[in-house]
């Protein structure tokens, strides 16, 4: 792992500075970095994806425990530094790329490499990262919905995003992210991080967050993509009633005509607002929608 002065030296050697546009804030508190790794409880056959690896400080620690670590860095120079620093670790592969193809799709190269590793290593697939703020939400949502699905995620993110991830029904921060995470697993804040543990210091607090996918929850979901579409429909119009939201449905959901019966079967008042509905109730609605569309 690399101290603040070491990271500064590495960047200075290439005559570069952290890029605010890419959300480059390096975690420099080594105790917190160890806590992130320790919380993940990495096993000998686990596969790890690290997004935004920077100069490879966290990557180096991950490579000591896992047989395969795929570290992705969009910045050309930082990726070059990471490759130079981690040449001795056979388990670490550094890719200079954007981890996302677009907001709704993970880079196919990343997907292919992880799936290839899964054929060799039967352990869990984990996301462990000090995530750049601008990719945190879309990346984690993609790894919940699939087709590439993470068994667990341990990340540092902007506290505001962590608040949205862990929000409860009928709260201001409650939305698609919190619903889908709660419907598929257990999500919790591990620790709040002050700006001083990063370099350069961000202007906001951050948080260390852990998510563990739960089979007992995912087994109750007939089609996670249908659940995603349904949650998007309602939460995009969160100020309207559920009944009004259904009139704005598109795609597959537009073909459903008997919404009153669906709400009644799920014991839901159609005059309620989307933010009042518990994650499990969204699963119930989505499952009935699947039956009607089939």
| Chain segment 235-282, per-residue pLDDT in tens | 999 999 999 999 999 988 998 989 999 999 999 999 999 999 999 999
List C-alpha distances in Å: 141 to 11, 144, 191, 198, 241: 32, 5, 21, 25, 25
Q: Are residues 259 and 282 in the same domain?
A: yes
Residue 293 pLDDT > 90: no
Tens digit of each residue's pLDDT (9 = 90 or more) over 94-131 = 999 999 999 889 999 999 999 999 999 999 999 999 99
Q: Are residues 145 and 229 in the same domain?
A: no
Place of tokens 């991080």: 193
Q: Cα separation of 228 and 251, whole Å?
A: 13
Average the pLDDT over each of 37-46, 72-81, 201-210, 285-294 and give the range with the smallest value.
285-294
Residue where one domain finishes, among candidates 218, 250, 281: 218
Task: Pick the more confident residue, 1 or 81.
Answer: 81
Q: Are residues 137 and 42 in the same domain?
A: yes
Residue 140 pLDDT > 90: yes
- In this structure, what CATH number is given to the domain that contains residue 288? 1.10.8.100
Tens digit of each residue's pLDDT (9 = 90 or more) over 39-73 = 999 999 999 999 999 999 999 999 999 999 999 99
- The candidate with the shortest Cα–Cα distance to 185, out of 145, 157, 137, 233, is 145
Residue span of the structural domain in which 280 resides: 224-293
Residue 294 pLDDT > 80: no
Q: Are residues 276 and 188 in the same domain?
A: no
Q: Are residues 92 and 29 in the same domain?
A: yes
Cα angle 124-128-134, degrees, rounded to a multiple of 5: 130
**Token pair for residue 105?**
């799709």
What is the torsional sign of CA 183, 186, 191, 196?
Answer: negative
Q: Cα separation of 20 and 293, whole Å?
A: 46
Q: Cα separation of 210 and 187, whole Å?
A: 6
Place of tokens 């320790």: 38
Helix (H) or strand (E) holding 7: helix 4-13
Q: Cα separation of 79 and 85, whole Å?
A: 10
Q: Are residues 141 and 96 in the same domain?
A: yes
Q: Are residues 101 and 138 in the same domain?
A: yes
Q: Cα separation of 2 and 219, whole Å?
A: 41
Residue where one domain finishes, among candidates 172, 203, 218: 218
Where residue 134 falls among pLDDT bands split at 50, 70, 90? confident
- Residue ranges with strand state E in 62-205: 68-73, 92-96, 100-102, 105-106, 125-130, 152-158, 185-193, 198-199
Residue where one domain finishes, among candidates 218, 244, 261: 218
Q: Are residues 78 and 127 in the same domain?
A: yes
Domain count, the chain: 2
């Amino acid at each position: 792992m690399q101290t603040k002065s070491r990271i500064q030296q590495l960047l200075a050697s290439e005559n570069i500075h952290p890029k605010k546009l890419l959300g480059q804030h390096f975690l420099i508190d080594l105790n917190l970095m160890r806590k992130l790794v320790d919380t993940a409880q990495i096993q000998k056959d686990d596969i790890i994806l690290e997004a935004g690896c920077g100069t490879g400080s966290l990557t180096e620690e991950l490579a000591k425990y896992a047989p395969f670590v795929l570290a992705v860095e969009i910045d050309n120079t930082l990726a070059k530094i990471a490759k130079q620093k981690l040449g001795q670790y056979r388990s670490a592969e550094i890719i200079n790329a954007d981890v996302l193809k677009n907001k709704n799709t993970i880079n196919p190269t990343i997907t292919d490499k992880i799936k290839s590793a899964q054929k060799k290593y039967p352990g869990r697939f984990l996301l462990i990262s000090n995530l750049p703020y601008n990719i945190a939400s879309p990346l984690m949502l993609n790894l919940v919905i699939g087709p590439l699905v993470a068994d667990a995620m341990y990340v540092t993110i902007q506290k505001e995003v962590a608040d949205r991830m862990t929000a409860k029904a009928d709260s201001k921060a409650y939305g698609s992210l919190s619903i889908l995470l709660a419907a598929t697993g257990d999500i919790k804040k591990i620790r709040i991080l002050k700006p001083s543990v990063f370099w350069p210091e961000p202007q906001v607090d951050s948080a260390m967050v852990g998510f563990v996918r739960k089979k007992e929850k995912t087994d109750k979901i007939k089609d996670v993509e249908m659940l995603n579409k349904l949650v998007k429909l309602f939460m995009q119009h969160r100020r309207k009633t559920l009944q009004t939201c259904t009139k704005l449905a598109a795609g597959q959901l537009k073909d459903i005509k008997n919404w009153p019966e669906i709400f009644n079967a799920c014991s839901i008042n159609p005059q309620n607002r989307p933010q009042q509905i518990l994650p499990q109730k969204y699963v119930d609605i989505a499952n009935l929608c699947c039956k009607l569309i089939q």
